[in-house]
């Protein structure tokens, strides 16, 4: 029974990627997260080395947290079997999510340390450097980063292309986000420690591979220390880096740079909704033209009647798509037939206003400014589309039945 308890896996935190201020139960000096994916051949060795080091430096005052993303090679199971041997070891098996950064954050969320650290699980980060990083934090640094680009640092045997990609990524980072990337010599490092208080309560963004950018970009980091290290060659297993990580890195930089500006912009202007509205408008144009053609040729209806009828068909078409798709979220909250009918009538009124507005605009541009009607018309359509969208957003798909 005792054995059962000590072999239990750590529960995986859920919800926001936010680290709490105070370690919940008993606090420890240091928690070191080891993210793993298919590292079954390395995990035993790294746990042993780290334990030896930390048992000396911080006896009973640290924990090792392996966060495995349900590796196909069952790294989590191999680690779990080590639990009875290493009392400071914890193992988290994540089954719902994948990704290096989120794994690290989930690990820290389950940690009790006042200092939070991360180290790769493949022995490419030399474990002895830990002691220097710890020392830096204990002498006042908020963040200590193991760096390949300071005294004592380097890469063991990297080819030109790998060096080029790594430095290129750093350069791009410096251009897009100098205030964050420029603060350290090795912003790509995945080997560092940070004071919990410096990142607690910050809402972290779980994107990508480079968790250090997130820590510097969103945390309250005053003093930074760097310790040189030589990036070792992998002994077993393989790297998980693909082109996807480079793309994610770029998106990550832009996100950090805009820091919610994009989402605020979207809140105000509803960019996605507007694009959907525009697409629906385009489909309406096709319906309008096709109906007009058939009414004129197959039904030999007069010009005026064909125009009105085909336009109304387009309005019905647009209403259906907008109600289901563009404003679907709003519409679903008001599902009654009467409410839908109200929206439909309002939408008709807005469209009619739009046609009148368009006519006025084209005539004004043509008559007053001598702009060709074929230039004036698309300009007018663009203006009216904005107008229609705005009015529909504020009017048609609002609460229609206040109780
Ligand atoms: N839980 C989890 N989930 N762990 C992962 C995942 C994932 O999706 N992807 C990778 N890992 C683990 C690996 O098992 C390894 O322990 C560590 O994260 C680093 O992954 P590698 O794939 O070995 O990365 P690398 O060696 O190419 O790149 C390293 O290079 C940088 C220096 O430029 C990264 O480790 C960086 O942290 C390091 O600073
Ligand atoms: Mn590696």
pLDDT of residue 400: 55
- When pLDDT is cut at 50, 70 and 90, the band that residue 320 belongs to is very high
Q: Specify the residue for token string 């309002």.
A: 346
Q: Where are the alpha helices (DSSP H) in 114-270?
A: 129-138, 160-176, 178-181, 196-199, 211-218, 243-258, 261-269
Ligand 1, atom 33: closest residue by C-alpha: 188
Whether residue 121 has its Cβ less than 6 Å from ligand 1: yes
Domain ranges across the chain? 23-260, 271-396
pLDDT digits (tens, 9 = 90+) for 339-357: 899 999 999 999 999 989 9
CA of 149 to the centre of ligand 2 (A): 17
CA of 229 to the centre of ligand 2 (A): 14
pLDDT digits (tens, 9 = 90+) for 211-240: 999 999 999 999 999 999 999 988 888 888
Quote the CATH superfamily of domain 23-260.
Answer: Spore Coat Polysaccharide Biosynthesis Protein SpsA; Chain A (3.90.550.10)
CA of 209 to the centre of ligand 1 (A): 7
State the Cα–Cα distance between residues 216 and 231, nearest whole angstrom. Answer: 22
Ligand 1 atom closest to the CA of 99, numbered from 1: 8
Tell me phi and psi for residue 89, to 5 degrees: -90, 140
Q: What is the pTM of this model?
A: 0.70
Ligand 1, atom 29: closest residue by C-alpha: 190
- When pLDDT is cut at 50, 70 and 90, the band that residue 177 belongs to is confident
Ligand 1 pocket: which of 9, 13, 35, 155 to mutate (most atoms within 8 A of CB): 35
Whether residue 98 has its Cβ less than 6 Å from ligand 1: yes
pLDDT of residue 403: 38
Instruction: Answer yes or no: is pLDDT of 63 > 80.
Output: yes
Mean pLDDT of 296-303: 88
Instruction: Answer yes or no: is pLDDT of 151 > 90.
Output: no
State the Cα–Cα distance between residues 235 and 157, nearest whole angstrom. Answer: 13
CA of 41 to the centre of ligand 1 (A): 15
């Amino acid at each position: 029974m005792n054995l059962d308890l000590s072999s239990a896996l750590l529960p995986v935190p859920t919800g926001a990627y936010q680290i709490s201020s105070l370690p919940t139960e008993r606090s420890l000096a240091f928690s070191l997260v080891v993210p793993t994916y298919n590292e079954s051949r390395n995990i035993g060795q790294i746990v042993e080395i780290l334990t030896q080091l930390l048992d000396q430096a911080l006896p009973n005052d640290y924990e090792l947290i392996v966060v495995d993303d349900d590796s196909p090679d069952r790294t989590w199971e191999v680690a779990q079997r080590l639990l009875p041997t290493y009392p400071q070891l914890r193992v988290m098996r994540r089954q719902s999510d994948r990704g290096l950064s989120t794994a690290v954050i989930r690990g820290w969320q389950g940690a009790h340390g006042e200092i939070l650290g991360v180290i790769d699980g493949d022995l490419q980060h030399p474990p002895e450097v830990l002691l220097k990083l710890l020392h830096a934090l204990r002498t006042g640094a908020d963040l200590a980063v193991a760096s390949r680009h300071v005294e004592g640092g380097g890469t063991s045997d990297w080819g030109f292309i790998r060096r080029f990609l790594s430095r290129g990524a750093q350069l791009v980072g410096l251009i897009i986000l100098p205030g964050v990337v420029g603060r350290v010599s090795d912003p790509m490092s995945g080997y560092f420690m940070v004071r919990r208080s410096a990142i607690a309560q910050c809402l972290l963004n779980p994107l990508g591979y480079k968790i250090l950018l997130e820590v510097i970009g969103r945390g309250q980091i005053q003093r930074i220390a760097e310790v040189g290290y030589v990036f070792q060659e992998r002994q077993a297993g393989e790297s998980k880096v693909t082109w996807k990580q480079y793309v994610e890195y770029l998106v990550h930089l832009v996100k950090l740079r805009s820091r919610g500006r994009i989402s605020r912009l979207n809140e105000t202007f509803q960019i996605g909704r507007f694009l959907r509205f525009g697409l629906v408008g385009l489909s309406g144009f096709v319906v309008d033209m096709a109906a007009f053609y058939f009414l004129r040729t197959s039904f030999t209806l007069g010009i005026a009647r064909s125009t009105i009828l085909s336009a109304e068909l387009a309005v019905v078409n647009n209403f259906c798509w907008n109600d289901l798709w563009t404003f679907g979220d709003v519409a679903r909250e008001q599902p009654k037939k009467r409410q839908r009918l109200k929206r439909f009538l309002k939408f008709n009124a807005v469209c009619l206003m739009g046609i009148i507005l368009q006519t006025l605009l084209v005539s004004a541009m043509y008559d007053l400014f001598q702009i060709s009607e074929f230039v004036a018309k698309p300009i007018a359509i663009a203006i009216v589309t904005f107008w229609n969208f705005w009015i529909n957003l504020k009017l048609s798909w609002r609460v229609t039945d206040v109780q």
